[in-house]
Amino acid sequence: MNLFDLSGKRALVTGARTGLGQGLALALAAAGADIIALGSRAMPDTEAKVKAMGRSFEEVVYDLTDPSGIGDVVTGLTARGNIDILVNNAGQIRRADFTEFSETDWDDIMNINLKSAFVLSQAVVRHMLEKSIAGRIVNVASLLSFQGGIRVASYTSSKHAIAGLTKLMANELAPKGITVNAIAPGYMETDNTEALRNDPNRSRSILERIPVGRWGEPSDLDTAVLFLTSPASSYVTGQILAVDGGWLAR
């Protein structure tokens, strides 16, 4: 028995153009899922890699700084088939001192990281309930769902809120057969950490605290997302799984 078999499942992954989102989409495709990828720009590299695995690929180009049209997007997608898995990965980060942090940077990041996850989940869950789908929802949280960080007011606030939203959704949806969990990646090699990795002092101080001693890679999340989306994980919900090389343990 293959506990991670997702054959016949259709998975919607946001922020799937590069980095963690692309890695999550490829992990699901490798396990047999067909992929719907939502991002702010075209995703030809993700498309090519998913199709090379023999899975179908649908692309949705949508700017999540304005989530108001997400419901219509989901209506169009569900007209073509069920959505069994939702991975709310899309996220951005902007840095400035707290006293200088702009309202625009607050609003944009909260819309992308939090509001879009709420609106998209709401639309997908309505579909899952209508079709009696034992759905799997995975939100991408962060180490800053547990810690404060510095110079990232909207990012930290959004990721704390994602942790709370995950638990709220899990409580309400578990009786309906839908599980909701989150993955909290550690310091990963992505666009969001490029500034930190390019700063020798910050990079050194970060690596010195990670027991595993390296930056994470997108593939480090593969088994976590497969575990949380598999049909066999029906008794796991409301959890926030840190994949951080031991950062939080130190």
Q: How far is CA 66 from the centre of its chain?
A: 18
74 CB-near residues (< 8 Å, 6+ apart):
83, 120, 123, 124, 127
Total residues belonging to the chain: 250
> 184-203 in b/e burial notation, b at 16+ Cβ within 10 A?
bbbbbbbebbeeebeeeeeb
What are the phi and psi torsion angles at 225 (to 5°)?
-70, -35
In this prediction the pTM is 0.96
| pLDDT of 1 higher than 70 | no
| pLDDT of 57 higher than 70 | yes
- Upper half-sphere CA count for residue 248 (Cβ side, 13 Å): 15
Q: In this predicted model, what pLDDT tens digit does every residue of 210-236 receive, in sequence order?
A: 999 999 999 999 999 999 999 999 999
CA angle 96, 100, 102 (to 5 degrees): 85
CA angle 120, 18, 160 (to 5 degrees): 50
Amino acid at 50: V
Q: How confident is the model at residue 191 (pLDDT cuts 50, 70, 90)?
A: confident
For a pLDDT cut of 70, what percent of the chain falls above it? 100
Beta bridge partners of 56: none
Q: For residues 195-221, give the mean pLDDT.
A: 93
CB 241 within 8 A of CB 185: no
The residue whose two tokens read 């998913």 is: 50
Domains for the chain: give ranges and CATH numbers. Answer: 10-188+217-244 (3.40.50.720)
Give catalytic status of residue 155 as yes or no: yes
Q: How confident is the model at residue 190 (pLDDT cuts 50, 70, 90)?
A: confident
Whole-number pLDDT of residue 219: 96
Q: For residues 47-60, give the mean pLDDT.
A: 98
| pLDDT of 20 higher than 90 | yes
